[in-house]
Homo-oligomer: A and B are copies of this chain.
């Protein structure tokens, strides 16, 4: 997908949110699109700085794009936040505690996931996992 196509692809979502279609914005989306794995803000900035895109712009856009669900925040333990495009279907990750390698776990079939992780990720050892639910508690749901 080239930049023009990318632009048309994201135009509706950005317009609906009242956001402008800017060069840095598209570049960040393109960088995420071209990455197989979730990236940190800094990794994104490293790639984006070739086009004179400031780190502040990267951080601000990741925030903005997450807010309208074009980008998804992925949280890994011990590490900084990672971001990925939210276009893919919901999935999880396996993280190597030694080298930091990240492998996508394609389906979210929670019951059989742990077996699947070993079978499909090439991880021979799963030491632990983290599962967190995010939503609204009773009190906040009332507001």
Contact = CB atoms under 8 A, between A and B. Distances in A.
Interface stretch (A5-13, A28-36, A52-60, A88-96): A88-96
Contact of A130 (B103, B105, B124, B134): B134
Interface of A: 73-78, 81, 90, 92-99, 101, 103, 105, 108, 110-111, 113-114, 117, 121-141, 143
Contacts of A139: 96, 99, 101
A97 B140 CA distance: 9
A135 B93 contact: no
B111 A133 contact: no
Contact of A101 (B114, B129, B137): B137
